């Protein structure tokens, strides 16, 4: 299906970076004074690239995503993006008094899409996420997986070239999460959107990404990167996925042990 998002992605082919993070640090005020959460992060996301951010709890993954989204500002350094990113959270954050379609239409309205075009565009996006015919369903009528699909459609409705995803499947059961991995991979391939995906699940990171970036324990620094040269589609139980996951897990465990010694 030809979508406006796909056309926008094609139009940005000449853009060098979907996101550029340069020497970014972030501190927050705490009881003991300023606490450094992120320290000198430099990271690029290429147009159409799928990058996962991995690290132990509290390493600053979500903080970095919020900075890229523009929800907060870095203490030092700079962040530039190819247009305004779309952000998808762990919780679906759908408005329960609106139908699935109307939740998507709200994003279209805020983007300035004409009223007479919104329903058709919302139904196209629902079809893209395999929820054709669900336009009129209320949030309470949708399963957890279906709600996240609607949330993904709403994010895509923003017509952004960069999709930021903060552990969007963490609360789902294993089977639903596995299905949505397949769906996200398909949608990413169809639309050409760039993705920066935060997770603490090593196998999820390897299954989805072209590149895995590991952040150190607080303060978060880019500890190591891996290019994932495993053809898509991948399964979470595939031997190459499991092998690379073991390698990354060992590095992550070592980082956690070092942090625990301080």
Condensed to tens digits (0 to 9), the pLDDT of residues 190-227 reads: 999 999 999 989 999 999 999 999 998 888 899 999 99
CA 97 from chain center: how many Å? 26
pLDDT of 262 above 50: no
Distance CA 101, CA 105 (A): 6
pLDDT at 14: 57
- Mean pLDDT of the 86-113 span: 89
DSSP-based three-state secondary structure for 12: coil
Domains delineated in the chain? 4-85+160-260 (3.40.50.300), 97-159 (no CATH)
Backbone angles phi, psi at 77, to 5 degrees: 90, -175
Condensed to tens digits (0 to 9), the pLDDT of residues 25-75 reads: 999 987 877 889 999 999 999 999 999 999 887 788 999 999 999 999 999
pLDDT at 71: 92
Condensed to tens digits (0 to 9), the pLDDT of residues 134-156 reads: 999 999 999 888 998 999 999 99
pLDDT at 136: 93
pLDDT at 8: 45
Contact yes or no for 152/164 (Cβ under 8 A): no
Using a CB cutoff of 8 Å and minimum separation of 24, what contacts does 3-7 make? Answer: 3/124, 3/125, 3/128, 3/156, 3/190, 3/191, 4/121, 4/159, 5/156, 5/159, 5/160, 5/191, 5/192, 5/193, 6/190, 6/191, 6/192
Contact yes or no for 191/50 (Cβ under 8 A): no
Question: What is the band of 4 on the pLDDT scale with cuts at 50, 70, 90?
Answer: very low
């Amino acid at each position: 299906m030809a979508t406006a998002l796909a056309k926008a992605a094609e139009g940005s082919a000449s853009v060098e970076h979907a996101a550029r993070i340069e020497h970014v640090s972030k501190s927050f005020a705490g009881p003991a004074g300023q606490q450094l959460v992120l320290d000198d992060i430099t990271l690029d996301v290429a147009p159409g690239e799928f990058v996962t951010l991995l690290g132990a709890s509290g390493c600053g993954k979500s903080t970095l995503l919020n900075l890229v989204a523009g929800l907060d500002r870095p203490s030092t350094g700079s962040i530039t993006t190819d247009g305004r990113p779309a952000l998808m959270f762990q919780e679906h954050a759908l408005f329960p008094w609106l139908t699935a379609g109307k939740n998507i239409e709200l994003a279209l309205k805020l983007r300035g899409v004409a009223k007479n075009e919104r329903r058709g565009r919302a139904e196209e996006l629902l079809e893209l996420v395999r929820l054709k015919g669900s336009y009129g369903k209320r949030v309470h009528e949708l399963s957890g997986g279906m709600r996240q699909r609607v949330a993904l459609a709403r994010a895509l409705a923003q017509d952004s070239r960069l999709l930021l995803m903060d552990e969007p499947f963490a609360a789902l059961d294993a089977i639903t999460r596995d299905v949505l991995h397949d769906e996200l991979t398909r949608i990413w391939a169809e639309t050409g959107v760039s993705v920066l995906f935060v997770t603490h699940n090593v196998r999820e990171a390897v299954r989805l990404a072209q590149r895995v970036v590991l952040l150190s324990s607080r303060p978060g620094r880019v500890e190591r990167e891996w290019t994932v040269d495993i053809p898509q589609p991948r399964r979470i139980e595939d031997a190459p996925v499991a092998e690379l996951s073991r390698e990354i897990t060992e590095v992550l465990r070592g980082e956690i042990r070092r942090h625990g010694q301080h």
